[in-house]
Amino acid sequence: MTSNCCGGSRVDSGDAGVRRTYGFVLEYFRRFGNAPSPAEVSVKLQCGEDDAKANLRALEHMGALRLDTSSDAILDAYPYSAVPTRHIVRFEGGCGTGHNGGVGQYGGV
């Protein structure tokens, strides 16, 4: 994983499914203000739920997001969080989730 110009992160995985999963998670957070479930990831990316969970665990291993250990629910994916924090994320101008190279490659939310 590497940093982009905005202080965010970009997934450097050779696995297209992992990159598409990360892009979907970030775009989902941006649009809806919460994380998608593994089932929603599975439906959107047209893969089995076990594959979606494996992609999410691979992203967690890279440090791109954190999962709840008991449910595989997404807790956060920088800069977004599914649990309340004292931070507010705003994107203005040309920098944001679209800059990471993954968003938009899965067909949108």
Number of other residues whose CB lies within 10 A of the CB of residue 92:
6
Give the pLDDT score at 103: 41
Beta-carbon contacts of 84 under 8 Å, excluding residues fewer than 6 positions away, are: none
How far apart (Å, rounded) are the C-alpha atoms in residues 4 and 109? 22
Taking only the tens place, the pLDDT of each residue in 26-82 is 999 889 988 999 999 999 999 999 999 999 999 999 999 999 999 889 998 877 877
Number of other residues whose CB lies within 10 A of the CB of residue 27:
22
